Amino acid sequence: MGFVGKIPDWLIYLVLLIIIMAGVMSRSSQTNTSPPPELGPALPNTHPTDKTVLVEIDAPTSGIGTAFAVDNNGTWMTARHVVDGCDQVGLALNRGQYVKMGKIIVASDVDIALLSSRWKRKPLARDFESVRQLGEHGFFIGFPQGKPGEAVGKLLGRHKMVIRGRYRTSEPILAWAEIGRTQGLKGSLGGLSGGPVFDKDGELVGLVTAESPRRGRVYTVAPRSLAAALSPLSTKPGRQAITLGDYGRRADSLRRARRVAKVVCLVD
């Protein structure tokens, strides 16, 4: 009958280390989380020296944009410049199917419009109270170039947008540096106008209003402007976090649920 010798301590430690590392690697592969952004200081208040973005609004023409649900009663929000001057406005549901918008209210001083329809969808969660931080990520979801798509940006700071043309306004906006977009989406983000901007918590914090393709910038309506427009609409929808690794899937889910939809402007 043979004897089994004592197992060396180093071999026991090696086995334990392999087991621990395997567990760590397994959890890492399951979570698949993206690294958090490098945040800077809090977003400063508006200031007279904020950079100016000049936008020229021509005569109204037929076109497309993005809209999203803001209450349970069929109220939707988009950008004013998307629907201002249109003879008919509708939401595109499926190929060749549209829901005509009823009452259209355009804001007089910001790039916001509210639309009413019989098409009721669950509204988006929103957060207009939290202090935004420079460097944080914003996720832009909608229909760039009329097709489903999304982009992500990094918050740079406050700017002032001055609109000239068929109407004249001046408003504070947020500026984002584009850092990513849907695979295969190239060129202009036109059609994303009016689309929602989400923070990492999956809550509405802005509305896409303009872009500067040459500089790689996306400009959005300031949270306080959205808060003023939506304050009469009481709602407490749930939220779901968004990351760099899953914002494409989250965008598809919102579009399939028709909580974010293509809006069509027709000019006779």
Indicate the CATH number for domain 51-266. 2.40.10.120
From first to last of its 268 residues, the chain has per-residue pLDDT tens of 333 355 555 555 555 555 445 443 433 333 333 566 778 889 999 999 999 999 999 888 899 999 999 999 999 999 999 999 999 999 998 777 889 998 999 999 999 999 999 889 999 999 999 999 999 999 999 999 999 999 999 999 999 999 999 899 999 999 999 999 988 888 899 999 999 999 999 999 999 999 999 899 999 999 999 999 987 665 556 778 898 889 999 999 999 999 999 999 999 8
Distance, in Å, from the CA atom of 28 to the CA atom of 154, rounded to the nearest integer, reads 25
Going by the DSSP 8-state scheme, the letter that residue 147 receives in this structure is S
In sign, the C-alpha dihedral spanning 76, 232, 200, 241 is negative
pLDDT of residue 35: 60
Residue 120's CB: how many other CB atoms inside 10 A?
14
Find out whether 263 and 64 touch, Cβ atoms under 8 Å.
Answer: yes
Find out whether 260 and 70 touch, Cβ atoms under 8 Å.
Answer: no
Residue 157's CB: how many other CB atoms inside 10 A?
14
Q: Look at residues 210, 198, 188 and name the one whose alpha carbon lies nearest to residue 239.
A: 198
Find out whether 260 and 142 touch, Cβ atoms under 8 Å.
Answer: yes
Q: Look at residues 139, 110, 105 and name the one whose alpha carbon lies nearest to residue 124.
A: 139
Q: Where are the domains of the chain?
A: 51-266
Find out whether 77 and 221 touch, Cβ atoms under 8 Å.
Answer: no
Q: Look at residues 99, 103, 101, 56 and name the one whose alpha carbon lies nearest to residue 81.
A: 56
Tokens 């979801």 — which residue? 141
Supply the pTM of this predicted model.
0.83
